[in-house]
Chains A and B, each alone.
Chain A
Amino acid sequence: MQNLQPNIPTPATTHGASARAWNWRRTFAPTGNTGDTVFRLALFGAAFFLMLVVLVMIGAMAVNSLPSLRQFGFGFLTSRVWSPISGDFGALPFIYGTIVSSLLALLISVPLSLGIAIFLVEQAPRGVARPVGFLVELLAAIPSVVYGLWGIFVLAPFLREWIEPFLARWFGWLPLFRGNVTGIGLFTGGIILAIMITPIITAVVRDVLAAVPVSQREAALALGATKWETTRVVLNNGAPGIAGAIILGLGRAIGETMAVTMVIGNRAQISASLFEPAYTIASVLANEFTEATGELYLSALIELGLILFLVTFTVNGAARLLVWSVAHRAGGGAVGRA
């Protein structure tokens, strides 16, 4: 299908990096127009303020986590013990819980979101697409604590009664689906996250697909492509935007606190089974920060915050790299750049 792609440079690629590069002189040189200068400086100030906030946050966290950094060093990342009483702190179970629950959420959410978005843009009649689209936006606006309550009172019992016994029975030969079925654990945490990020990913992907020019579809259809093949052309065009949507969802999944805390079981352990309780970085911060006494305990928690920051940075960076490589492979069809 690659040959269906027109190899015409789009506006997004002609505006290369060099043309957009930031130039000291252009920012501060007098232009002869006072208003413009003030405007420019105000904008620069706003952007600088954001950077300052990020730097101050990292700085404050780094300084406050010094006692723990000194005490545990690199071992903090690899230790599995979290015992405030004996003063032993390790981050590995939390890092594991954060990453696995987020990945599980993506695994479920991405195909679902893509399906909904493609349906809304490519297939659904107007009368269906609009109310469904509205519902998707509504779901994205529900506070996470509501998802959490729903998780405890509806989702967890449902998974415990129906889904988990089924998985344990037919897929119990996998270590993933062994153990005590309680409806509370990593599995439920991943599913609630998937439900929470699906509306976000769907909404963004829908906008990305809607932005793909109609001429692309018409060209594909004119060449005798089926509906499925046409959709693939559209998806190819929107790939960077879709990847951006997934990053957005992943970002929310990693940082999500309340809903996950209420269903994941909050146990600092690494278990092969998805049915076992786990713990995420955001949850442990929310749970233990208010009652943490003692310098080392507090600084270990703050170091966890720093790690969450770094995990988010790394994941975002990696995802952006992915977007970039996909965008280049797709021949610069850059609709809705991330």
Chain B
Amino acid sequence: MISSFHRLRSLCAIALLFISALTFACSGQRGGEGEGTGGAVRLQGAGATFPNPLYQKWLSEYGKLNSNVRIDYQSVGSGAGIRQIQEQTVDFGASDAPVKDDDLAKARGGQLLHIPTVLGAVVLTYNLKDVQQPLRFSPDVIADIFLGKIKTWDDARIKADNPGVNLPAAPITVVHRTDGSGTTAVFTDYLSKVSPEWGEKIKSGVSVNWPTGVGAKGNEGVSGQVSQTPNTIGYVELAYAVQTKMPVALIKNKSGNFVAPSLEAVTAAAAESIAATPEDMRVSVTDAAGANAYPIASYTYVLVYKDQKDAAKGKALVDFLWWGIHDGQSFTKDPQYPYAALPAEIVSRAERQLNSITSGGRSVRGAQ
């Protein structure tokens, strides 16, 4: 009997362990709720992967200045970020592309605001062994390459933009992103604007039905595939191309100039588009006019509810974003964070957006 009692006891211990593990797992779910003790505020954000390195820098710098606020950001992708802010499981979302109307309508916490934080750009990169100088592309040529209509590198239309360049008589292999991505959204948005055929057949979005080429996952997948396979062409984020020092193409903008991708050229594209930017900031700055504007650029946004349920959290969030669009912009000068800063006019418009955020009917920012 003693031994059976002993056995029973150890079994009970195992069962208890099991149950406590389960309870623990369940209670872990409550982490997102927020307010800690002693007035410290916790904020949760989730969304786009593209600005993640900069946002993490912001969080750590802002955390040093404001020890009573703790902000976490998870780079789960724009789509997941939009879903999570719709469901109100996070305090702010982040997306590379403006949220579409029907997705805005699904937001459970009322009106969602777009706060632009920085700008990014998409560049064309390629692998041609014998080509030293950067290639130059016209918009219609890019579209036809990605439509599969221009099939070889020595096509007359590519040659016309690149006189004197020794282009091989090899087939072009297109490499595109295969995971849903803001990069793809920006690139296809541009192609839709410059090519009626693209706009009709393929359209733009985070993942599209590509007419040709091979798909790779992430910027690192595309750049890996391009750098490993001769005669390929692909698109990656400017920030990624800068860090990996890949060859990038010059692209002809609306004014007819071939522009190299640079942070200044991206900010210029945004500045040129200000007249067309609506008050809610949902705008595409691809194919911008202006002599120095780089044509494949876009804002990246933080998504917040106009009506904040919790006044303390709302104030912490607005203060953080206010800091981000002002002091936070200075980090773009660091070559480690190759994002383009917001034009001054856009900063003041973003200020207006932040000032309009309320909690319980009172302006969050005015309540300091």
Contact = CB atoms under 8 A, between A and B. Distances in A.
Contact of B7 (A35, A82, A283): A35
10 contacts: A85-B203, A152-B221, A152-B224, A182-B229, A185-B214, A277-B214, A287-B207, A288-B179, A291-B77, A291-B207
A153 interface: yes
Interface stretch (A14-22, A103-111, A262-270, A318-326): A262-270
Interface string B56-88: 000000000000000000001111101100000
B214 A265 contact: yes
A153 B11 contact: no
Interface centre among B180, B208, B214 (most CB of A within 10 A): B214
Contacts of A268: 209
Interface string A246-276: 0000000000000001100111100000000
B180 A292 contact: yes
Contacts of A86: 203, 209
Chain B: interface size category = 35 or more
Contacts of B228: 152-153, 156-157, 183
B229 A293 contact: no
Given A86-B209, A184-B214, A261-B217, 17 more contacts: A35-B4, A39-B7, A84-B180, A84-B208, A156-B229, A182-B214, A183-B228, A277-B213, A277-B215, A287-B179, A287-B217, A290-B76, A290-B80, A290-B179, A291-B179, A291-B207, A293-B79
B168 interface: no
A35 B11 contact: yes
B180 A291 contact: yes
A86 B83 CA distance: 20
Given A38-B11, A152-B228, A180-B171, A291 B206 contact: yes
Interface in A281-311: 283, 286-288, 290-294
Contact of A266 (B5, B12, B173, B214): B214
Contacts of A42: 11, 14-15
Interface residues of A, number: 40
Contact of B217 (A33, A182, A262): A262
Contact of B103 (A182, A184, A288, A293): A293
The prevalent SS among residues of B at the interface is mixed
B205 interface: yes
A170 B179 CA distance: 36
* 5 closest Cβ pairs, A-B complex: A291-B180, A266-B215, A290-B77, A291-B79, A266-B178
B267 interface: no
B149 to A, nearest CB: 16
Interface in B1-31: 4-5, 7-8, 11-12, 14-15
A125 to B, nearest CB: 41
Interface in A49-82: 81-82
Contact of A84 (B5, B100, B205): B205
Interface string B13-54: 011000000000000000000000000000000000000000
B80 A291 contact: yes
B240 interface: no
A293 B217 contact: no
A253 to B, nearest CB: 19
B359 interface: no
A83 B205 CA distance: 10
A185 to B, nearest CB: 7
A152 B225 contact: yes
B214 A267 contact: yes
A83 B209 CA distance: 5
